Amino acid sequence: MAAVAVELHGSRFDPARVHAQVRGDALLLMDRVSGRWGTVPAVWVDLLPMTVTASAAATSAAATALREYMIEHDIGTRGGDRSFGTLNTLIIKLTAACNHACTYCYDFEATFGARRIDPAVALKTVEEALDECDGSLQVILHGGEPMLVWDLVEDLVVRSEAAAVQRGKVLRFVGQSNMSLLSARIGRFSVEHDIVWGVSVDGPADVHDHFRVYRNGRGTYADFARSLEAFPNFMRTCGVLSTVTRANEGRLLEVAAHFRDLGMPSWDWTLFQAIGRGRHEADRFEPDVETVVASWVALYDAVCAGEFHGFPVVPVLSYVQNFVRGPGPNMCMRPQCGAARDLASISVDGTIEACDCIDRTGPLAGLGDAKQVTLAQARATPQADTIRGRDLSATRCSTCTWFGVCGGGCLAHAASRDEIPPLACALALTAFDRIAGDLVRPGGDLRRYLASVGADAP
Ligand SMILES: C[S@@+](CC[C@H](N)C(=O)[O-])C[C@H]1O[C@@H](n2cnc3c(N)ncnc32)[C@H](O)[C@@H]1O
Ligand code: SF4
Ligand code: SF4
């Protein structure tokens, strides 16, 4: 794209958004709001103070060229930021019941009981979400354990597909399960209807069985192993999701290697959140910040050393992809997070939530009852506005270089809406620093890894 005369951008260019870091021979220029970045030679660092003026007459030709470079690459320009207001993802909590009794489970509040969603309410919500979405909708089948209510899943999927066809919309189902109830019928239906499942396993048996247990305390890893043995092809289409707790905080590299060696297609993580069952005795589960960061660094180093060639290690890739592409599809890693924007969740009792991570007993809970209001009405409530109105200006995010690609961490994991969660922050500070250091230079081990998993590289 040709450079546009800089004077035209006088009011759009905001140099305060641009953070600069010298890294070897390169100068990284990062727009801390939009997450757009670029690199120029490190010697240009002295020109930066002169780029604040739009007047070519008042500055040098080199400073004008640098300013032009930034404007051309949308670094430091107002108005180019993406917004994410259109619904594209719906989480459905099909049942509050589970055959497992993981001791940290956030989906268990004693008061909610073991109920299943009213099928008519589930279908109504999918139809309304199809009406709200732009052209395609992703529905996430969740619980409790969704495979406990398989008849309901089949019925909902078939009816929803018909509703999508009627509206000319694309509908895609994904699901999260402990996979203990996998059967030939479930596998067949899932393949026929393109339902992509994730399986929750926290690590090798001794790690997993620490908190993921039956009511009698017996570990549940054997259920995963049995399904893997009985349905190896199907199971090896299911990405693994591990919850990071005290049990695996220092062993992330070992956990990732375990699932790579089992032939699973990818490994991802979710950080422990002290709600539901995890609310009580949270200290038992809450991972230690320094231990997890050190564990992530060991994982990152192993990824760069080629140990995971061809295997997607999502806790590394998610930061890299956000850095490379800028904020977008990852709705947990951007200033305008998905809650009450591109995401909605419906609980078993029909309560519409902004996100399934929001504490259902806390101040941000409940946008409305799906039996009484539409999804559109729920998303237009003052409560939804409150959630969308997160303000991190009083936190360290207000001056952080990585704000555009980090977003300030999950609001549901923070002590309150306008605070940041310490673990997510410490991880993001470390991850973006390492990734920026590796990607400002051409070539390198991280780029080789990205190519091996088919991920974008700058
Ligand atoms: C609540 S489960 C529901 C689906 C299914 N039963 C399963 O285990 O995959 C969804 C995911 O949330 C994770 N999870 C449960 N409790 C959590 C907590 N307190 N903090 C963070 N993640 C949690 C689980 O490990 C699982 O990966
Ligand atoms: S995390 Fe999943 S498998 Fe474990 S108790 Fe909760 S709903 Fe059940
Ligand atoms: S949460 Fe931490 S890393 Fe993320 S933007 Fe805020 S200060 Fe930066």
Q: Higher model confidence: residue 50 or residue 213?
A: 213
| Mean pLDDT score, 246-271 | 98
Whether 365 and 391 have beta carbons less than 8 Å apart is answered as no
Tokens 């719906």 correspond to: 90
CB neighbours of residue 341 within 10 Å: 23
How many A from CA of 31 to the centre of ligand 3? 14
* Residue 259 reports pLDDT greater than 90: yes
Residues contacting 415, CB < 8 A, separation 6+: none
What is d(CA 374, CA 381) in angstroms, rounded to the nearest whole number?
Answer: 11
Query: What is the average pLDDT value for the chain, to the nearest integer?
Result: 92
C-beta separation of 241 from 207 below 8 A: no
In sequence order, the 6+-apart residues with CB closer than 8 A to the CB of 457 are: 324, 439, 446, 447, 450, 451
- H or E stretch at 323: helix 314-325
pLDDT of 9: 46
Outline where DSSP puts E strands in 185-342.
196-200, 239-244, 267-271
Share of the chain above pLDDT 90, in %: 81
Residue to probe by mutation, ligand 3, list 33, 336, 397, most atoms within 8 Å of CB = 397
pLDDT score for 112: 58
Ligand 2 binding residues, C-beta < 6 A = 98, 100-102, 105, 107, 143-145, 178, 200, 212
Ligand 1 atom with minimal separation from the 107 CA? 1
In this structure, which residue's CA is closest to atom 4 in ligand 3? 408
Residue 397 has pLDDT above 50, yes or no: yes
The domains of the chain, with CATH numbers, are 12-70 (no CATH), 89-382 (3.20.20.70)
Examine the pLDDT at 115 and tell me if it is beyond 90: no
Omega before residue 38 within 30° of 0, cis: no
d(CA 199, CA 177): 5
Q: Is the CB of 319 under 6 A from ligand 3?
A: no
Decide if pLDDT at 402 tops 50.
yes
Task: Please compute, for residue 362, the number of CA atoms within 13 A of its CA located in the half-sphere on the CB side.
Answer: 20
- Return the residue whose CA atom lies nearest to atom 8 of ligand 1: 178
Mean pLDDT of 287-312: 98
| CA 450/CA 454 separation, integer angstroms | 6
Per DSSP, the three-state class of 129 is helix
Indicate if the pLDDT at residue 109 is higher than 80. Answer: no
pTM: predicted TM-score of the whole model, two decimal places: 0.94
Is residue 17 within 8 Å of residue 76, measured between CB atoms? yes
Tell me what percent of the residues of the chain surpass a pLDDT of 70.
94
pLDDT for position 55 = 65
pLDDT mean over 385-402: 96
**What is the rounded average pLDDT of the residues 261-280?**
93
Q: What is the pLDDT of residues 116-147, one digit of tens each?
A: 999 999 999 999 999 999 999 999 999 999 99
Whether the Cβ atoms of residue 87 and residue 137 lie closer than 8 Å to each other: yes
In this predicted structure, what is the pLDDT of residue 54? 65
- Structure tokens, 46: 């002295």
Residues 6+ apart with CB under 8 A from 280: none
Ligand 3: which of 271, 330, 398, 402 to mutate, judged by most atoms within 8 Å of the beta carbon? Answer: 402
pLDDT band at 351 (very low <50, low <70, confident <90, very high): very high
Higher confidence at residue 63 or residue 11?
63
Tens of pLDDT, residues 444-456: 999 999 999 999 8
Helix orientation angle between 314-325 and 445-452, rounded to the nearest 10 degrees: 100
Q: Which residue lies with its CA nearest to atom 7 of ligand 1?
A: 177
Q: Binning pLDDT at 50, 70 and 90, where does residue 281 land?
A: confident
Among 262, 276, 418, which Cα is nearest to 335's? 418
Residues in contact with 161: Cβ distance below 8 Å, sequence separation at least 6, in sequence order:
171, 193
Arithmetic mean of pLDDT, 298-311: 98
pLDDT band at 110 (very low <50, low <70, confident <90, very high): low
Give, for ligand 2, the residue of 103, 200, 269, 279 to mutate: max count of ligand atoms closer than 8 Å to Cβ.
Answer: 200
Which DSSP string corresponds to 421-441?
-HHHHHHHHHHHHHHHHHHSS
Residue 428: is its pLDDT beyond 80? yes
Instruction: Please say if the pLDDT value at position 111 is more than 60.
Output: no
Whether pLDDT at 2 is above 70: no
Q: What pLDDT, on the 0 to 100 scale, is given for residue 63?
A: 86
Q: How confident is the model at residue 97 (pLDDT cuts 50, 70, 90)?
A: very high
User: Ligand 1: which atom is nearest the Cα of residue 278?
Assistant: 19
